[in-house]
Chains A and B, each alone.
Chain A
Amino acid sequence: MKARTENMQTDAPLLSVKNLSVEYRTDLETVRAVNGIGFSLRKGETLGLVGETGAGKTTTALACMGLLPEATGHVACGTIELEGENLLELPESEMRKVRGERIAMIFQDPMTSLNPVMSVDEQIAEALELHNEDNKTARQIQERVDEVLLMVGIPASRKHDYPHQFSGGMKQRVVIAMALACEPTLLIADEPTTALDVTIQAQVINMIRGLRDRLGTAMIMITHDLGIVAQTCDNVAVMYAGRLIEVGRAADVFLPAGSVGSVNSIEHHPYTAGLFGSIPSLRDRARRLTPIPGLMPDPTNLPKGCGFAPRCLQKTPLCDEESPCAYGSGAHRVRCHLFAERDGWRKEDE
């Protein structure tokens, strides 16, 4: 096992996404799913990517994997650099070596992401065989399969079983085992627990967290569950209508609005504030749940100004006219006109 933990928190980013825009083009319409986002991730770090369904989280992940739907998905601009190498410029054959070996992905629904006609050991072994640079023998591969299965808590005796013989939580364990089999440097977990029972969710999240810590893998945790973000992430990025509207360390983003210690009355993007406001707080029983009114804008027809403006309670005339740029304070960054004149926040370069 490579000693990855040593390199933790070094300055060179492992993954650096800059100004990434992704479009889905069909003859009917163009869906602008991701619009100029940028973020970076250092080794061993975990980034939480949060947002509503349709905000562009999965698209971002697929773009990183180079798995956008061939016929329609299309990166309009931007770069995705993995250890300094722009993945978007790699030929498909090189990209295949990246997938599974350097970046692995756990998909949302374990029920459908395993091939129903192959036994689980075949499916895990396949990942190993595809990236078998050190010429492991069939036997060594089988041993490794047993090892990763054990790692996710599945007895080796069940390795010849087929996916339908496992429960949902167990299947997700298999998917995780498959993703981690080649010890990737980056793991993208796309809502890994959404499809699972609540009790199983906690188990799986704990396991992912444990394995990440043990293997020192960097991770992008895509979720709309803020609880999971709080439990697992170093950094959080909030996505809305294809843009990152707020990025920061978990502590920054999770700092509740108007809580003790804040200089200004508003520390968050109104959407983030709304997002957090919609979660019932255990501490503050009196507060009522305040869901955000309205719907996300139609991605085929984004508004001219701020994407959130139509739903925003603090909207100014400027919000409808001009798309806000990002304002930063330390590692915390917010994309909202409200922060333009605020103390301690300054305009950031794109």
Chain B
Amino acid sequence: MKKVRMALLVTLVLMVFAFPAPGAEERTLNLSTLAPLTTIDPHATSNIQDIIFHRQIFEPLFFQNEATGKYEPRVAESYSISDDNLTYTFNIRKGIKFHNGEALKADDVVFSLNRALKSSKVRSYLASVAEVKALDDYTVTIRLGQPNAAFLNSQNMIMILSRKEVEEQGDEFGTKLTLAGTGPFYLTSLQHDVEWTCAAFADYYRGAAAIKKLHYVPITEASAGLIAFESGELDWYIAPIANWDALTNNPKYRTELVTANHISYVAVNYEHPPLNDDNIRLAIAYAIDKDAMNIACYDGNAVNADFMAPPENTGAPTKGVVYNYDPEKAREYVKKSAFPNGTKIGIINCSAGGYFEKMAQVLQSNLADIGLICDINRLDSATNLEMARNQKYDLLCTGLSPYGDYESLRMYSYTKMKGAYMVKYEGEKFDYKTMDDLWDAGIATTDLGERETIYSRLSDWIAGTATLLPIFHKVQPYAWTPNLVVPVNYPNYPQVYEWSWAKK
């Protein structure tokens, strides 16, 4: 009897602890990232999980809205471009305060941009910048070495920091609590790999955020994250697609599928025989069943891709050379090639753990259907990347996130960017100079129509080589509690500032 009573008591205590009842006003928003924070120095990371969080506390000069593609003023109120397209003049917003309470001045902007220029992690965004100068406390000019139509897009990736704060922390900046940002939230506690918290910045120039407190935890295991979300430990979560149907059919949750700014593709190394045979590459291009890949990876919820960038990206082509699933045509190309049915065409590389290994398996099956045999090499992501860079692959299943402008794909093919490309076009096989010239031309003009024409030609050139084969744009299965009002779910970077608690 005594034991039973004791057990009841313990259960009761546990339940009380498990369901804390916070006041509605001060309710904390619980969020998660898919990986621990590596740093909170926005100039010292190119990791998307870091950036998703950094965007809540730091801001660039101009912000590109992912949903509309438009640029919105943040640290800078307005900008002007010189006639030669080489000088950008930014008018800094007056009265902006850093989280430490100090006013933001042009000097901080210059400092931040120069700091970014020295960082191996982000300086590629500013590759065209020749000089950054403050004209006065609220005007900054940036002079480019050559015209760059995508400059506004790339400056969107560079956050403005408080010079004083950064210099005071020195080498330790990024590893500890900092108030160097101007964003709607500021850090209140920080344990990179356990949890970190933020509070709404009262002096934020667009008005303080509706949600006052944020709490982040890193959850690397998707199924664990989902359980955490369902048991109320998280308010908003990027759910695993396998559980999507159950979530959408559950009235306890709000859900939305948003197409990510992302392209999953297959790269073909044309230098490795028999992949150097044009007919074999075309056969591969026609053999790929994008629908099957979509079903295997995203239950058919992803958006099949015709081109290497989502249509929302500035300058992204909407028509041109497209390969669609046609096994008959694929077999014809195999027949036309110098290789018999059952030819081994090499190994498909992919990184372990994500959906790329699913793509690889469907690809292998698709190719087997048309009589091309290949193996799969599942590698840890670092090794996979290293092998891809060094062209040590035959076929590669991978993906990338453009920044919102077709130009951001340049680094994956432009031959002058040594080592960055996924397919190395430099060589005898293709007229790669034409491609390089098109990339250069694409940013030399700010005229959008002109750019689109150039990128269409570029897209066709690349498609013509049948070396970069777009598959689909993945989706973000967002789920959140009905207590939370989320006006817009963005493709990649959530804007927590826009969110609020539902009124009872």
A–B interface present (Cβ within 8 A): no
